[in-house]
Structures are given as structure tokens and as C-alpha cells.
Amino acid sequence: MAKQGAEKRGQQKPDAEEQKTCFIIMPITTQENYFDLYRDTEEHFRHVLDLLMMPAVEKAGYTPIRPSAQGADLIHAEIIQNLQSADLVLCDMSCVNPNVLFEFGIRTALNKPVCIVKDDKTPKVPFDTMVLNYHQYRSALDSWHLPEDIRLITSHIRDSAKRSKGDNALWRYFGLRTAATPFEGDDTSENMMGSMLNMMDSMRMQFAAALHRRDSRDQI
């Protein structure tokens, strides 16, 4: 009996704390100049989050971490912590939102994996698709398409995580070697802003050096 009990305990699913996490970064509200594109106007991306992103992340085997709705115009300590610690970041580039791009930059500076999606209303993402693969989803959120759309995003999340091997695709493409140092210390606004600027500056210098090396090779 004791042996059977031990075997059952060994077969139990891992605790939620042991499950991998996926931090979702995406627009929280829809800017007014995009209202004409979406039938549900300012609430559109909240619906995208609840109907598409959250179910897809869970089906891919991750515990989803929702984007912060409060203080959406400010990159604060909780967001930085999630960008540092999450096993994967799901980045929705729809509308090419500046806050999302900034958060993506921090994640890239840390050389950690990112999975990119965008909707069918956004013409392109600001990256060469040969460098970063992204999935395009239907923005209409029609109920008869949702199961298929969730399945496709789930598959893209799994494929992106597998391809990344724990690293960021931009680093492999440019041959970068030194990641930004994760933030340590008091999570005051001043300290967090200093940490963010250091991360971005480190990434900027390394990308500039990588581009210089590539241009030098092309001239030979």
C-alpha cells in the first residue's frame, strides 16, 4: 500500500509553481486612430487577450502572465520582473504599439526567447521575417474561427519555444554574445529606469558592432 501511494504521488502533475510561465505583452487598449479597423473599438485587445492569447498560452503548456492594464503607459517594476523571469514572452506586434516595442527591446537585450504574433490589420512588423518568424491571426474574433485560431497560435508558441533553445533569435542572427545584466536592487522607479536604460544601451552598442562586422565582411 505504501509503495502504491508513493507511485501515485510520483504520477501527480507538477505544481503550478513548477510550470513554465509565458508573459504576454500586447496593446491593452486600442488607440483612437485604429477604431475604424476593429468592430469592438477600444475594448478590442482585451477581447483578443481573453479569447485568443490566454487560451493559446495555456494549451501550449504555460502559465500565462497577463499584461498590466494599470499604468499601461509606464514600464514599471512588475513588467521588468516579468520580462526577466518568464520562460517565454508572447509579443503581439499589432498596431506596432510603442510600449510593446520597448518591452520587446528589453526582452531582446536579455537574450531571452520571444514568440511574435500580429493581426491581419497590421501590414507588417518592423523586422525581416527571415530573422524572426511571426504568426498572423484573424482580428475579427468570430466565434466559428476561434478554435482554429487558438490552435494555430498554440502551435506557433510551441514551435517558437522549440526553435529558440532558450535564446533570442536576433542574437543568433547578429552573432551577439553578451546579454544585458538582469536588474537587481530596490524596485524604485528611479532604479528601474536606470536599469532599463542600461539594458537598451547595451543592446544598441552590440547591434551597432554586429552590423559593422557584417558590413566589413560584405566589403571583402
Phi/psi for 52 (5° steps) reads -115, -60
What are the chain's domains? 19-219 (3.40.50.450)
Residue 164's pLDDT is 82
**pLDDT value at position 8?**
45
The per-type count for the chain, helices as H runs and strands as E runs, is 8, 5
Return the C-alpha cell found at 147: 478554435
pLDDT in tens, the chain (220 residues): 444 544 444 444 445 457 899 999 999 888 888 888 888 778 899 999 999 999 999 999 999 999 976 554 455 778 888 999 999 999 999 998 888 988 888 888 888 899 999 999 998 777 644 467 889 999 999 999 999 999 999 999 999 999 887 776 665 655 555 555 555 555 555 565 555 556 555 555 554 554 445 555 555 5
Output phi, psi for 196, to 5 deg.
Answer: -60, -45
Q: For the whole prediction, is pTM greater than 0.75?
A: no
What pLDDT is attached to residue 187? 54
